[in-house]
Every structure is written in structure tokens, then in C-alpha cells.
Amino acid sequence: MIRNSKAYPYLLIAPAMLALFAFVVYPMGYLVYLSFTNWNIINPVKKFIGLTNYATMFAREEFYTVAWNTFVYTFFVVAVTLVLSLLLAIWFNKNTKFNIFGQAAIFTPHIISLVSISMVWMWIMDPEIGLLNYILGWLGIPPLRWLQSSDTAMLSIILVSVWKGLGYYTLVILASLQSIPPSIYEACELDNASKTQVFFKITLPMISPQLFFLLIVMTIASFKVFDTIRIMTGGGPNNATNMFVYYIYEYAFVNMKIGYASAVGVVLLGFISIITVIYFKVLSKKVHYQ
């Protein structure tokens, strides 16, 4: 009987493994292969050129600008979103009518398409008729060219990204807070523990697995940001908001340099892998699983 054979477990996981190979392993391997060629889509011939794409990439100043922009964007989006999500989740962790309405309101941006959100924020940040400059003028502050200036374009993109994802991450943390047994807090009250002690000794360790998961997910998502930049700034002004995925898009589908774009993709994959490993090496020991 097949069910009693040693090959039966492997037959069960075979469809998943085939899908993994077809949609993950093979594309990654093909990406690495293309990074050693000068393929330009139009010409079917893929000429092997060794490490030329990598040498060209590391010799270009724009690559380091793109890398710096990506790291800055990722750091601030992840840090600000995670901290605000935690604070809001603690605030919403009370069963009141206002908090129920607040949860629904803050989650709304997550279910709205990013195109719509970007268009709305482009209007809000318009230097002539935008709501933000109207508020600044009311406060006596000179208007800003939010998306048109190199000084504020990155800040604008970060603001939109945080606003877009804040509701989702808040509800994930809120769900983890509500899964903590009330008896633990009752024991803390009997021991006269302060709110600060309860937060750092009980609450934070109990939700650390969810925070660790969100940290990794948010970091990877931030490294792969594309839609917001494509719609709102196009990587400008002066490459101030150009990041890895948009940089890859430009060279692959605008300049038709698939080989060079693949080399950048391999470097991006390397950065994400290294950061993920660092997270697991440094932070996984501080995660407390129940």
C-alpha cells in the first residue's frame, strides 16, 4: 500500500515542493544567471560577460545613493510604524465604543488601493492648493514643496507609507495583547507591580514573537517598496526617493538592461538575506515563546 510506504510523506509534500521550485528557487537561480549576461530583452541572445554588471554597478555613484535611500526609508518606516502600532494597540486594548470605532477607522487605509491613497496624498501635498501647506500657512510656517524638493520628498514618502500600514500592524499587535491571559495581570496587581514593570516584564515579552515577526515582514516590505515611488515621485527629485526596486524597474523595462537590473536584484536579495540573518542571530534570543 502506498500509505504504508516510506515514500508516502514525500508524495504529500511533492506538490508544494514543485510549486516552491517553480516559483521561488528557479526564478532566483535564473536571476543570478541573468546577472552575468548583457541581455536587453529585444535581442534573444544572452551573452555571458562575467562580473561586468557587478563592476559597473559598484562603480556608479547612483547605486550608493539608491542603497542609502533604501536603508533610510526602511529604518524610519519600520521604527516609526512599529512604535506607533504598539502605542495605538495598547490604547485600543479597552472595550469601549470609541476604541471600536478607532480600530475601524485606522484600519481603513490598509484596504484602500495604494493608487488611490497616493493620488489623495499628492493632492494633500500639492504646493499650491494642498491641505498640508494650508495648515502650515495657518500656523505661520512657509509652505513646503513636499514632493518636488529633495529635502522633503523622502519624508513625504515615509509619511504615506506609515499612514498606509499603521492600521494593519496595530490590529495584529492588538490581537496579541488580547491573547494574554488576564490572570497574569491579576497576579501582578496582587504583587503591587507598577504599570512600567508590567509592561516591560510581562506585556512586552508575551507579545515579542508577534513583534519579531512584524519586524521581519515590515523590513522586507520596505526594501521592496515600489508603487508609492512610481506614482508619487518617479524616484525624484534628483534621485532623492529612488530605491532598489524602482531602480531595477528603470534599468529592466525603461533602459532594457536586464543583465544589469538582475545584478542589482541579486544585491538586493543579498541585503535582505543578511539583515534577516542578523535579526535572527541578535533578536531571536530575546523572543519569549509561550
Check which CATH number belongs to the domain holding 243 and give it.
1.10.3720.10
- pLDDT over 90 (residue 105): no
pLDDT at res. 159: 94
Does residue 164 form part of some domain? yes
Does residue 109 form part of some domain? yes
Query: How wide is the angle at C-alpha 36 spanned by C-alphas 31 and 39, nearest 5°?
Result: 80
Neighbours of 214 (CB within 10 A): 22
pLDDT at res. 2: 64
First and final C-alpha spacing in the chain: 40
- Please write the tens of the pLDDT for every residue from 125-135: 988 888 899 89
Does residue 207 form part of some domain? yes
* C-alpha separations of 93 from 89, 231, 289 in Å: 6, 36, 21
Does residue 120 form part of some domain? yes
* Pick from 153, 146, 150, 170: nearest CA to 88: 170
DSSP strand E in 186-289: where? Answer: none
Does residue 7 form part of some domain? no
For residues 143 and 219, what is the distance between their CA atoms, to the nearest angstrom?
A: 32
* C-alpha separations of 288 from 12, 104, 171, 197, 212 in Å: 33, 30, 20, 17, 10
- pLDDT over 90 (residue 41): no
Q: What is the mean pLDDT of the chain?
A: 89
**Mean pLDDT to the nearest integer, 258-276:** 94
For residues 150 and 67, what is the distance between their CA atoms, to the nearest angstrom?
A: 16
Does residue 26 form part of some domain? no
**Grid coordinates representing 135?**
495648515
- Please write the tens of the pLDDT for every residue from 184-206: 888 888 888 888 888 888 888 88
* Pick from 41, 273, 70: nearest CA to 158: 70
Does residue 15 form part of some domain? no
Does residue 3 form part of some domain? no
- Please write the tens of the pLDDT for every residue from 4-27: 777 788 888 999 999 999 999 999
Residue 194 identity? S
Task: State the total domains in the chain.
Answer: 1
Given the C-alpha cell 495584529, which residue does it identify?
172
- Please write the tens of the pLDDT for every residue from 63-90: 999 999 999 999 999 999 999 999 999 9
Domain that holds residue 46: 35-286
Neighbours of 242 (CB within 10 A): 21
- Please write the tens of the pLDDT for every residue from 228-241: 999 999 988 889 99
- Please write the tens of the pLDDT for every residue from 152-193: 999 999 999 999 999 999 999 999 998 888 888 888 888 888
- pLDDT over 70 (residue 1): no
pLDDT at res. 266: 96
